Amino acid sequence: MDKLWISILLLLGFTFSLFAADRITGKMFATRSEVIGTHGMVAASQPLAVQVGIDILKKGGSAVDAAIAVNAALGLMEPTSCGIGGDLFAIVWDNKTQKLYGLNASGTAPLALNLEYFKKQGLKQIPYHGPLPWTVPGCVDGWFELHKKFGKLDMKTVLQPAADYAENGFPLSELIAHYWQRSVMLFKEYENFQKLYAPGGKLLQKGDIFKNPELAKTLRLIAAKGRDAFYKGEIARAMVAYSQKVGGFFQMKDFEDFHAEWVEPLGVNYKGYDVWELPPNGQGIAVLQMLNMLRAFDLKAMGHNSAEYLHTLVEIKKIVYEDRARFYADPRFVKVSIKRLLSVEYAGERLKYFNPARANRNIPAGDGILEKGDTIYLTVVDKDFNAVSLIQSNYSGFGSGMVPDGLGFCFQDRGQLFSLEEGHPNVIEPGKRPFHTIIPAMVTKNGKPVFTYGVMGGDMQPQGHVQVLLNIVEFGMNIQEAGDAARFYHTGSSEPDYGTMTDGGELHLESGVVPEVVRTLMGKGHKIVGERGGFGGYQGIWIDNERGVLIGASESRKDGCAIGY
C-alpha cells in the first residue's frame, strides 16, 4: 500500500510539474505577458530599434519623433523589409487638437515610364527586381511632413541613433538574419547589393555585426540639410545618375515634384469601436468592408477559430478582395465611390455571394497580382497620449535588390503592383501611385484612441487586422493574446490574368487550429495547404484612458518587442 501511495504521489508531482511550465494567467497559447507603462510605449519588430524610440521619448521627444527614429533604425537593422528607398503611411492621433490625421507618403511611377514601354518589351507583368518596378521613395518626405506638424526634437537628434548604429554596427537578430541570407542568394547578380549586404563575400549570420557607413552618411546629410537633400540635392542627383547607369527611368523632375499627401482617415463602427484606416491607393478599406459585412453574423456564438467562424471570415474576405483587386487605385487617376464601398447597403448587396455551407470558387471582379510583401510596422504613444500608427516598406524582400552607388539602401519595387492591363484602374501611368498593401490602423471609442495597431505582410494585412480586432472585441482576449492566437491566411482571391476567382484559392492555417476544424473546412470545399509563413507581423498598444496606462504587445512571429516606461 505504501508503494502504491508513493507511486500516486510521484505521478501527481509529475503532473503538477507539467502544468508549472505553462502560463498561470491568461490564455495558454500566449507567448508572453503584455507590457505596461505610463509615460510612453514603443512596439516594433526589432528590439534595438524599439529602445531607440524609448530613448527619444525620454529626451522629451513626441510620439512622432520616436516613430521616425525607430523607422530610421529599422531601415538599417531590418532592410529586408524597409528603408528610405521605400514608402510610408501613418495615422496620428494629436491629443492637443483631439483629431486623427492620415499621411500617404507613397511614391509615383517615373514620368518617363508608361504602358507602351512594357508592351514593346512583350512583358505581361512588371518584374519584382531590377529598375523597372522602381517608384519614387516616399519615406523621407513622409518623415519631414510628420515632423513639421508633430515633432519636438530637431531631426539631427531624431536621426542620430540610426546613423550611429550604421557607423558603429549592430548584431543581426534571428528572423531578420534568416531573410537576409535568402536575399543575398537571390541577388547574386547585383554587385552593389552584394558589396553592401554580404561584405567581403560573407553570408551574415544571427549575431554577426553589420555596419553601413554609406547609410550613416546619407542619414546625416538628410538630418543636416532636410528633405530637399533627398529630393532636390546631392542624394537625388546620385539616385538619378545610378538610374541612368543601370537602365532605369528616374529623372530629377520625378523627385522634385514629389510630395506626401495628408488624407482623411476612413472609419466604420464595429460594436462600439470606431476602426480607422487610410483611403486608397492602399488596401485599408478592405478591413472596413469586411467589418461592415461581418456585423451580420453572431461571431462570438460560433466560437473562436471554429470551422463556422473561419469559414465565415474566409468567405467574406474573398468577396471583399475582389473589390480590392478591381477598385483600389490612386484616386488622383481613378474615380471610385469609396462612400458606396463602405455603405451598409453595399455590404448587404455583397452578402448575397456568401454561402454558409460551401467555399465560394467564383466571385465577380478582381485581379490576382496583389499578394507578396515585406514590411515593418511600428507604433508609439508618448506621455501626453499622442499616438502614431506607422507602416513602412520597400515591398518585397530588400525591394528591387538595387543599391544606388554610395547611398547605403535599396530602391523599392512597389511598381511591381501596377497592372499592365489597359483600362484597369491600377494600370501603370506616368506620375501615378501604384496599389499599396501597407496599412496602419487605429481604433477609437467615444472619440478617444484606445488601440493603435498593425499586422504587416502583403495581402495578409487586412485579414490580420480583422482577426486581431475580433479576438479582442468578440472574444475578450488581451492585446498580446489577440496577436498570439492562431491565424488563417487565404491566398488566391482571383486569377493572375485579372479574371475572376475560379478555384477558391488556398487556405493556410497555423498549427493552433485543431484537426477537427481542418477536416470540417475541407468538407466545405476549402483547399487547405497546411501551415506556412506569411501570417503577418503584429504590434499593438492599448490606451487605457481611464487609468492613464499604456499596454503594449509584440508579435511572437517576429524578432521585436514592446517596451514601456
Strand partners, 394: none
Give CA–CA dist 267/285, Å, rounded: 8
- Which of 265-292 are b and which e, b meaning 16 or more Cβ less than 10 Å from the residue's Cβ? bbbbebeebbbbbbbbbbbbbbbbbbbb
Using only C-alpha atoms, the chain has a radius of gyration, in whole angstroms, of: 24
Cα dihedral across residues 344, 348, 354, 360: positive or negative: negative
SS (HEC) of 548-563: CEEEEEECCCCCCEEE
Q: Which three cell numbers stand for residue 451?
A: 488601440
- CB atoms < 10 A from the CB of 331, how many? 17
Give CA–CA dist 174/260, Å, rounded: 34
Torsion angle defined by CA atoms of residues 433, 437, 442 and 443, in that order, rounded to the nearest 10 degrees: 120
- Contact of 478 with 469, CB cutoff 8 Å: no
- CB atoms < 10 A from the CB of 464, how many? 28
Q: Residue holding cell 531590377?
A: 130
- Which of 533-552 are b and which e, b meaning 16 or more Cβ less than 10 Å from the residue's Cβ? ebbbbbbbbbbeeeeeebbb
Tell me, yes or no, if 452 is annotated catalytic: no
Give CA–CA dist 45/375, Å, rounded: 10
The active-site residue, picked from 80, 135, 312, 375, is 375
Nearest to 401 by CA among 160, 119, 153, 180: 180
Catalytic residues: 375
